[in-house]
Structure 1
């Protein structure tokens, strides 16, 4: 009779214990599912600014500097997908100004991020953001810059697949696949596309890359050793064409004006398996190049122009 008296109570206690255990296991499982995978990301939230500390500066040529900023820890990555960029903000006197930059270091790089800065000579035409670029490039070691992002409508997912985010709220994002990545860059426009090319060539799939890199003179070619290393390590999958306005004697690459015929002859075939990525600073070269691309029969749906 005593057992009969306490049996309902024991059943209630056991049921409560089962509920508690199931609830706890559910919370643990949910926590495991939502736990971040991989290294911590610095720019996990585009709305949250971060202050990064300058740790190294390299003069690339008389106009260009490479700046390296430390991430919050040696294990952090920046958290910017290939094809996207960040905003660097500087307070100059009473005025706040920003400039967009693509990292030239890989998205997988831990502990730091690298950017390129090109500064014009006094008296030359200033580009938008020139004051911010000059200020940031003049920072000393351990000084900081504010960084926000990532921003941009292009994301590379790997395995030859790119996602293009629509600027129109009424249009859906779309995905394009490629077997051949064609890239046209000029001057400091190499910053965004070099990590992109390196990632594509480093994948196990047999993708191909072709780069048409446009500059005024041979001395203006940036990251040349990196590009030639990629040619040497991927001779069957990477084609490099260096195009100059004015080439030295014996130059074996391209020279002269960029025309639709130059672009058409260079573009890999068939177009249906090629994705064309264009990146270059604002100015006459950009306008001429985009006009030349428009003069070809390359499908617009497989063309993406990165922001200036």
Structure 2
């Protein structure tokens, strides 16, 4: 008889009230201490002996026989302390508690491995041989099962609460936060990774997937504001990273002065700060293929639910795509499929190429990657030239109710390559979004 069956059999038996179980958890060494206060006139605190047993959860497991010999050696004590129905009602009496601690199949798999748990705590034959007769042991089995299970649940619940000690940096989207430059890495001749420190090692940026931030600085007596999407996420504490292409003076004929903000960042010294504001944006990814999208910034959001995401990115427009790609592939329960068409001037200009190809190699059934460049080198195996209808048709998902198209890149690419070709291929306008 397993714990659930014993619980069901004895739930109708009312023996004695006033059994209070107080659980406490210690994070330092992983032990679980359970104290039972019994009776109205005297307090009896029992520290359960916990034996080291190799389990998937690395928790300590109750040794049934020793526990019974030390604590539950008489039927009278059992009748006074382990009224199964009342105990279960006191500890697991609300659906809210169940939702808080049993909300993932992974946790159940980790803590309630049936064969191992039953073998350790509820082996009826061994229990009878080591302690008392079956009729006396069954309530004990129920009590032990509930105590052990509840202790593990409490351990998990309290550890989750401790993880919430993370502090969000972007508390107010209208406030500017001065963040110091703590590290700068040269990725290519004109691409840098800038790392900015958050207020403490416990801080996360607090940026929803799909959103971006604004950097602002006074440059030559003018306030310059630019939008960027970090390549780090809220899995990273204490810092955020921006990968930015620096547009230097006298390099691009159309922009002889270069990029104001990118050159400002390039000239920043370690320890200097820049103002950061956010979150901002009209799209938030909710997980499981669900997006919250605003047509205009002041419009109410509507939910779009899809199974596939087709992405078209140009140059630095890859950063919001990579943010989404990383998040979806990290979530085991998210089976959203993605395809990316990434346009650049040359192979050397491809930002985050290594990271993208690592994801494509690790998740070949979930993420497809294709490039196009204006100036190919010898042996280039991908497409050449402006984004075309043929490229979209060959390398992205076809139009359907289950496919959302995301675009991010220079305005000429969006307006003269992406939109006309999507129209030509009959992609639904309501299932498109341009960052």
TM-score normalised by L of structure 2: 0.58
Q: Which has the higher contact order (CA 8 A, sep 6+)?
A: 1
1:146-225 mapped onto 2 (5 Å cutoff): 146-167=275-296, 169=298, 172-204=300-332, 205-225=334-354
1:15-26 mapped onto 2 (5 Å cutoff): none
Secondary structure, counterpart of 1:135 in structure 2: helix
Displacement of 1:293: 2.8
Q: How many residues matched?
A: 270
Displacement of 1:151: 0.8
Cα distance in 1 for partners of 2:190, 2:265 equals: 14
What residue is the counterpart of 1:253 in the other structure? 382
1:1-308 mapped onto 2 (5 Å cutoff): 37=164, 39-123=166-250, 124=252, 125-126=254-255, 130-167=259-296, 169=298, 172-204=300-332, 205-269=334-398, 271-282=400-411, 284-290=412-418, 291-306=420-435
Q: Is contact 2:248–2:259 with CA below 8 Å preserved after alignment?
A: no
What whole-Å deviation, never above 9, does each CA across 1:166-192 have from its counterpart, x for those lacking one?
4275x5321111111211111111111
Unaligned 5+ residue runs, structure 2?
1-162
Q: Is contact 1:77–1:112 with CA below 8 Å preserved after alignment?
A: yes
Larger gyration radius, structure 1 or structure 2: 2
1:168 and 1:277, CA in 2 relative to 1: closer, same or farther beyond 3 A? closer
Q: Is contact 2:214–2:276 with CA below 8 Å preserved after alignment?
A: yes
Displacement of 1:281: 3.0
Does 106-115 or 49-58 show the bigger shift? 106-115
What residue is the counterpart of 2:67 in the other structure? none
Q: Is contact 2:341–2:396 with CA below 8 Å preserved after alignment?
A: no
Cα distance in 2 for partners of 1:260, 1:56 equals: 41
Cα distance in 1 for partners of 2:171, 2:257 equals: 27
Cα distance in 2 for partners of 1:141, 1:154 equals: 33
Unaligned 5+ residue runs, structure 1?
1-35
Does 89-98 or 49-58 show the bigger shift? 89-98
What whole-Å deviation, never above 9, does each CA across 1:95-125 have from its counterpart, x for those lacking one?
2221111111123321111112222242323
Q: Is contact 2:248–2:263 with CA below 8 Å preserved after alignment?
A: no
Q: Is contact 2:315–2:350 with CA below 8 Å preserved after alignment?
A: yes
Cα distance in 2 for partners of 1:270, 1:166 equals: 20
Secondary structure, counterpart of 1:156 in structure 2: strand
1:50 and 1:202, CA in 2 relative to 1: closer, same or farther beyond 3 A? same
Cα distance in 1 for partners of 2:410, 2:200 equals: 32
